[in-house]
Amino acid sequence: MKKFKKTLITIISVAAAVIYFAEELGILMQDIQQEKKEVATAIEQIQDEIGEKVGMEIANKVDGEMEIPQMREQKPSQILKYTGHTLSYNNKTRLPNWVAYELTRKEAQGENPRKDKFAQDPQANGPQGDKEDYRNSGWDRGHMAPAGDMKWSTRAMDETYYFTNICPQNHELNTGDWKELEEKCRKWAEKYGSIHIVCGPIITDNTHGKLGENKIVIPDKFFKVALIQKNGKYHGTGFIFHNPPKRNSRLSTKPGPDRPLESYAVTIDEVESATGLDFFHKLPDNIENEIEQQKNLF
Model confidence pLDDT, tens digit, residues 47-80: 455 444 444 444 444 546 899 999 998 999 999 9
Amino acid at 155: R
Q: How far, CA to CA in Å, does 107 sit from each of 2, 181, 184, 269, 284?
A: 87, 17, 14, 28, 27
How far is Cα 128 from Cα 215, in angstroms, rounded to an integer?
9
Task: Give the 3-state secondary structure of residue 88.
Answer: strand
Q: What pLDDT does 9 receive?
A: 59
Answer yes or no: is pLDDT of 210 > 70. yes
pLDDT, greater one: 1 or 211: 211
Q: How far, CA to CA in Å, does 84 sit from each of 22, 177, 292?
A: 66, 23, 25
**Are 238 and 270 contacting, i.e. CB atoms less than 8 angstroms apart?**
yes
**Are 238 and 266 contacting, i.e. CB atoms less than 8 angstroms apart?**
yes
How far is Cα 168 from Cα 171, in angstroms, rounded to an integer?
9
Q: What pLDDT does 268 receive?
A: 98
Q: What pLDDT does 298 receive?
A: 86
62 phi/psi in degrees, rounded to 5 = -85, 130
Give the model confidence (pLDDT) of 148-198 as tens digits: 999 999 999 999 999 999 999 999 999 999 999 999 999 999 999 999 999
Q: Which position among 143, 196, 208, 242 bears the catalytic label? A: 143
Q: What pLDDT does 297 receive?
A: 87
CB-facing half-sphere around the CA of 109: CA atoms within 13 A: 7
213 phi/psi in degrees, rounded to 5 = -65, -30
Q: pLDDT band at 250, cuts 50/70/90? A: very low
Cβ neighbour number for residue 91 with a 10 Å cutoff: 15
Q: What pLDDT does 222 receive?
A: 98
Is residue 143 flagged as an active site residue?
Answer: yes
| Residues 241-258, mean pLDDT to the nearest whole number | 66
How far is Cα 280 from Cα 195, in angstroms, rounded to an integer?
12
Contacts of residue 123, Cβ cutoff 8 Å, sequence gap at least 6: 80, 164
Task: Give the 3-state secondary structure of residue 198.
Answer: strand
Q: What is the DSSP letter of 148?
A: G
Give the model confidence (pLDDT) of 84-122 as tens digits: 999 999 999 999 999 999 999 999 999 999 888 999 999
- Give this prediction's pTM: 0.78
Q: How far, CA to CA in Å, does 42 sit from each of 31, 210, 227?
A: 16, 60, 28
Q: How far, CA to CA in Å, does 110 sit from each of 100, 103, 106, 141, 148?
A: 19, 11, 7, 23, 9
Answer yes or no: is pLDDT of 280 > 90. yes
pLDDT, greater one: 37 or 137: 137
Q: What pLDDT does 234 receive?
A: 97
**Are 265 and 295 contacting, i.e. CB atoms less than 8 angstroms apart?**
yes
Contacts of residue 213, Cβ cutoff 8 Å, sequence gap at least 6: 132, 133
Q: What pLDDT does 246 receive?
A: 77
Nearest to 67 by CA among 51, 81, 48: 81
